[in-house]
Structure 1
Amino acid sequence: MNLLQLTDLQPDDIRRIWALAGEAPGPALNPAPGGTVAWSFEGNGIRTRTTFIEAFRQLGLAFTELPQLLKTAERPEDLAGYLDPFYALYVVRESDHPRLSAFAAASRRPVINAMSAQGHPCEVLTDAYYVDTRIKPLQDARVCLWGPSTNVFRSWHELAQVLGFALVQVCDRRFHEVLPQVEFVEPSALPQAVDVVITDSWPASAEADATTQTDLTPLSEDHLAAMGSPALLPTPPFTLGRELTVDPAAYPGFVGYAQKELLLPVQIAVVRWALAAAAEADAKRVAHQGDGHADR
């Protein structure tokens, strides 16, 4: 019932979340089980913050902001023990992924990762949902990640592992890795017939590791043309002249700013899925306890 990284999910979980995201919004949505969400958000996260708060509102969930929830010196198990009675769900944006994981392991409530240094699962579930429904089914799509690995790309790697589709990632050889479902290539050996290219801001660690300016190659209009003029899905915030030199707003294949509106239905779906899974687990636990009493 936690969503800390996409490898927490089974293929059926992902398809269920996407099916929920495809349902009609507004009053037609079945409200989530009642309760209060604990909400802790490190950094700006303008789009993710906007859409999660709106998701809580549309689902009729109260939410309480707990600033810097995991930045205290308290042990995660103590925080969870004291807070669990008050909350039905935690949505947390926290750079320290191991501490976030420790808190989730200690809590009896679902924990959703709204971004950590290791991954950005809700963002990638949204973008993958767009690719799967608006461009080409992921099993058939040629998806290209441009640049060294980031937390967003890590979540793409995990999604490809869970669903069993292939990715190609273009970056300098010094940033290549050995990963299942991912083919790493250099910018001088561009993949052909690509359906969508995804960019993300270069991590500071990659810039520190780069020894020459050519180690980090921005995505250009020429690169896109060489790959067959695919759709372009830049992960915001993007910076012209850094991870890409082509202006997405001027590129015919840009998926558009409205693509990120899908964050709202996908995040609504994630919350509904997590609360429903928690309710099912609680019902099984109660039933098991009842069976134990009957045996005595």
Structure 2
Amino acid sequence: MAARHFLTLNDLTINELSDLLDHASFLRREWQAGKVRNSLGNRVLAMIFEKSSTRTRVSFEAGMSQLGGSAMFLSPRDTQLGRGEPIEDSARVISSMVDAVMIRTFAHEKVDRFAQVSRVPVINALTDDFHPCQLLADMQTYREHRGSIAGATVTWVGDGNNMCNSYINAARIFGFHLNVACPEGYAPDNDLLSAHESCVTVFDDPREAARGANLIVTDVWASMGQEQEAEERRKIFAPYQVNPALMDLAAPDALFMHCLPAHRGEEISDDMLDQPGSVVWDEAENRLHAQKALLEFLILGKLEQ
């Protein structure tokens, strides 16, 4: 049987995603109760990092440990992924020795090529185009605080980046409407927008996009690899800060999320993470539990309580 991969949210059906998110919440409760779980005993996850990350490494490594397995960290110095050795050759060798592979890299093409020949599940832990694992945590967090997100209005404020792209995918799959507020020239990919025009609206004015929203989400203005643009982006994106005044335009019980790390005083005000509607810390922790559910689903082919 061919391995299942998780390269974008589109790789799972809405029923599979719903079951996975329910299981993630169960795993969170189980972990908080101090219960020991050994569902992935003797299983190994290879973690290939070409882009560094605090939360991704900690959540996947801790997650495998909490499920009784182990994780192997591979930095750019430890692999020949696309440097001298074809990606396909690396994939064949690595996937013959482990039970799943997690890749965090720049070009989305790399995870696609790796998955095409891998014997085991491949997980996209972030590329320049998509960040589906973060969306699992975000959707889990919304469900835990507000129930189903179907029919809700979600507002994305800032750069039309990989996180925004994954929110566009999520809008169609989970049945919410996405308002995207971004400066001219920084909108998401046109082809992606065209394919989702029924559930996505693009705004120039973040205040208009935020009106009545049930959830407001943002991210840093300059992602990894865009450091040389940081100063210019700070000027362009200054009107797109999420702050209490913007949240006041949203629904009275609106939530706020940020995938972190956050640059206080830039994309968010200094006090935004501590506002009543902020669920950022639950969102961050849920990376751990959503990914544990994902690992069980992909490696075991099922979810068991």
TM-score range, shorter chain: 0.7 to 0.9
- Secondary structure at the aligned position of 1:143 is classed as strand
Q: 2:255 touches 2:279 (CA, 8 Å); kept in 1?
A: yes
69, 78, 85: which one pairs with 2:89?
78
Q: How many angstroms apart in 1 are the aligned matches of 2:284 and 2:238? A: 30
Give the letter aligned to residue 74 of structure 1: E
Would you say how many aligned residue pairs link Structure 1 and Structure 2?
Answer: 278
Q: How many angstroms apart in 2 are the aligned matches of 1:215 and 1:53? A: 36
66, 75, 86: which one pairs with 1:58?
66
Give the letter aligned to residue 224 of structure 1: M
What is the CA RMSD across the aligned residues, in angstroms?
2.6
Give the letter aligned to residue 22 of structure 2: A
Pair 1:163 & 2:174 matched: yes
**TM superposition shift of 1:83:** 2.4
Which has the higher mean CA deviation after the structures are superposed, 42-51 or 213-222? 213-222
Change (3 A) 1:151 1:273: same
Give the letter aligned to residue 12 of structure 1: N
Q: How many angstroms apart in 2 are the aligned matches of 1:110 and 1:81? A: 12
Structure of greater Rg: 1
Question: Which residue does 2:127 correspond to in 1?
Answer: 116
**TM superposition shift of 1:4:** 0.9
- Secondary structure at the aligned position of 1:72 is classed as coil
Which ranges of structure 2 fall in alignment gaps of 5 or more residues? none
Change (3 A) 1:106 1:238: same
Which has the higher mean CA deviation after the structures are superposed, 204-213 or 250-259? 204-213
Identity %: 23
- The 5 A counterparts of 1:84-233 are 84-176=95-187, 177=190, 178-179=193-194, 180=196, 181-187=199-205, 189-203=208-222, 213=236, 217-228=240-251, 230-233=254-257
Q: How many angstroms apart in 2 are the aligned matches of 1:141 and 1:30? A: 37
- Secondary structure at the aligned position of 2:301 is classed as helix
Q: How many angstroms apart in 2 are the aligned matches of 1:139 and 1:266? A: 19
Q: How many angstroms apart in 1 are the aligned matches of 2:118 and 2:255? A: 41
TM-score normalised per structure 1? 0.84
Q: How many angstroms apart in 2 are the aligned matches of 1:153 and 1:96? A: 16
Q: 1:150 touches 1:202 (CA, 8 Å); kept in 2?
A: no
Change (3 A) 1:19 1:190: closer
Change (3 A) 1:174 1:86: closer
- The 5 A counterparts of 1:277-288 are 277=301
Change (3 A) 1:89 1:15: same
Give the letter aligned to residue 46 of structure 1: T
- Secondary structure at the aligned position of 2:208 is classed as coil
Which ranges of structure 1 fall in alignment gaps of 5 or more residues? 279-296
TM-score normalised per structure 2? 0.81
Which has the higher mean CA deviation after the structures are superposed, 158-167 or 265-274? 158-167
